[in-house]
Amino acid sequence: GTTVADDSNQKQQQLDQYRVDSTNTRYTTDQGVRIDDTDNSLSIGERGPTILEDFHLREKVMRFDHERIPERVVHARGSGAHGVFQVYESLAEYTCADFLSDPSLVTPVFVRFSTVAGSRGSADTVRDVRGFATKFFTRQGNYDLVGNNFPVFFVQDAIKFADFVHSVKPEPHNEIPQAQSAHDTLWDFVQLQPETMHTIMWLMSDRAIPRSFRMMQGFGVHTFRLVNAEGRGTFVKFHWRPKLGTHSLVWDEVLRIQGNDPDFNRRDLWEAIASGQYPEWELGLQLVPEADEHKFDFDLLDPTKIIPEEEVPLRMVGKMTLNRNPDNFFAETEQIAFCTANVVPGIDFTNDPLLQGRNFSYLDTQLLRLGGPNFQQIPINRPVAPVHNDNRDGFHQHMIHTSHTSYSKNSISGGCPATGVLAGDMNGVFRHYTERVEGEKIRKRSPSFGDHYSQATLFWNSMSPWEKEHIVKAFLFELGHVERRYIKEQVVERLTNVDTGLAAHVAAGLGLPAPTARTTNHGKSSPALSQAGQPSGLAT
């Protein structure tokens, strides 16, 4: 039997096979041929032309010319670390995932934190969402929890994702601004798509400028489904809670740190782990019985909504510790490939239309980013669970399959494990949750996705006076960079639906006319801002 320690080291042992230490070794070409001079190209005479037969020059130049691969289309800037996850007590009542049902199991993980909008070399401390992606190398296969540090998302449907990202990214004509939320296109998108309002409130809050990756919460965002051995489903929201607490920078610090140390968050994570200060997160679950699917005043399938913890409390079920820095940034942090569709037995999807699109998108982009269908064989991506199937060939195939057949089922060499000689063994098989679905083929969102403001208001009302002050200042900074006046006015109109007081402060700070008071403000009035929260004297 495997001991606990063996399991937690399994991924590391796998990676160890690929480690190359080139210190104090003899220099060779990629063909393993020793070279005595790597400073001078081969030429005719000391001052003559370089000649074509210089395979060493050719190889060295060629390899440099081909070093770059596409950066991630979003979340390009990131930092990663290895660690372990362990569940406190068995969750077998809810899920047949063994890493969640066996408290003696220590599962290796790799986590990548990221910003969203900036390019690979952009600064860490920008106002942005942070990615929080975890790959669990479980005995039943890889499970990816590809989350963010916000519990909600900007759009409800994956078909709008490219539009949203294009509005956030630098503008097409001049590639300005870098990693900033302060421009017309984002705010134009916001005013035209009111479903963004809840997440925009988070973006304007201090949650968008975390002090450290070690001090961030993480969220799976979507409602997922746990499935137990009997096939019973339970809705679930995933949360990561940092043991160090949740902490943010303030805007003045952000501006200074960007100049002093663009690697601020990356360095912090690296140095903490290098010095043995291992960051920890607890995994928390909000569990909703299927019978309660429709008991909320929002739709569980709507990724712009949280389930308030007053309604469904968080149950802390396990702990993750990050305890080892990568050996090589490119090999591990850059080449790791997360995908929401990477699930294991006991974890399944819901019909959240954002999630459904994500399941398609990650594999699609990685085929390009990582050069073809065999990217799962890149060491960091390999499951520790054995892989056996009839998938063959393709660019960068590393495996030497020795079977004389590559189709299932077959009578010659046994075929696939689940369909061949071991067909009787259905232990640990992934079975899609059985759900009855009926309806017309239709391009129309359910009216249950229609309330774009209540939870934005809830968020605002949950803020302390100084947090509100920071939010107002953030709106003034970001909207202050917007050139088109009508866009600012429209955003203020939207804010009126969140909170009339907030809208009034933002309008006054921007020098816009006071917005028209709304009766649609969910019957709530704005608690007054603190004295310091008055917009007078705030930069626009």
Which are the catalytic amino acids? Answer: 75, 148
Residue 375, CA atoms < 13 Å, CB-side half-sphere: 21
Q: Which is nearer to ligand HEM, 235 or 338 (CB)?
A: 338
CA–CA distances in Å: residue 74 to residues 66, 122, 214: 22, 12, 22
Q: Which is nearer to ligand HEM, 75 or 494 (CB)?
A: 75
The owner of tokens 């009035």 is 525
Please identify, using beta-carbon distances, which residue of 108 and 533 lies nearer to ligand HEM: 108
Q: Which tokens in the block code for residue 119?
A: 């390019």
Closest CB 388 distance from ligand HEM, rounded Å: 25
Shortest reach from residue 98's CB to ligand HEM, in Å = 25
Point out the residue whose Cβ comes nearest to ligand HEM.
131
Taking each helix axis as running N to C, give the angle between helix 465-480 and helix 485-498, from 0 to 180 degrees, rounded to the nearest 10: 160
The nearer residue to ligand HEM, 449 or 477, going by C-beta atoms, is 449
Question: 137 vs 477, which CB is nearer to ligand HEM?
Answer: 137
**Which pairs count as long-range contacts for 430-439, CB under 8 Å and 24+ apart, including other chains?**
430/140, 430/141, 430/343, 430/344, 430/345, 431/227, 431/231, 431/345, 432/348, 433/225, 433/227, 433/231, 433/233, 433/348, 434/231, 435/233, 437/351
Summarize as ranges the residues that interact with ligand HEM (CB under 6 A).
Answer: 72-75, 78, 112, 114, 131, 133, 146-148, 153, 158, 161, 221, 303, 336-338, 354, 357-358, 361-362, 365-366, 369
- What's the Cα-to-Cα distance from 504 to each of 95, 194, 512, 522, rounded to whole Å? 48, 18, 9, 17
Concatenated DSSP letters of 49-71: -B-TT-HHHHHHHHHHHT---PP
Contacts of 457 (CB under 8 A, 6+ apart): 498, 499, 521, 522, 524
Judged by CB, which is closer to ligand HEM: 77, or 494? 77
Phi, psi angles (nearest 5°) of residue 191: -70, -25
Residue 293 and residue 350 in contact, taking contact as beta carbons nearer than 8 Å = no
Measured distance CA(161)–CA(380) in Å, rounded: 28
Residue 184 Cβ, how far from ligand HEM at the closest point, in Å?
Answer: 23
How far is CA 368 from each of CA 93, 285, 409, rounded to the nearest angstrom?
40, 34, 31
Look up residue 141 and give its two tokens: 């296969």
Write down the least CB distance from residue 362 to ligand HEM, Å: 5
Instruction: Tell me how far, at minimum, the Cβ of 333 lies from ligand HEM, in Å.
Output: 8
From the CB of 453, what's the least distance to ligand HEM, in Å? 20
In the bound complex, what is the minimum distance in angstroms from residue 82's beta carbon to ligand HEM? 14
Nearer to ligand HEM, 221 or 503 (CB): 221
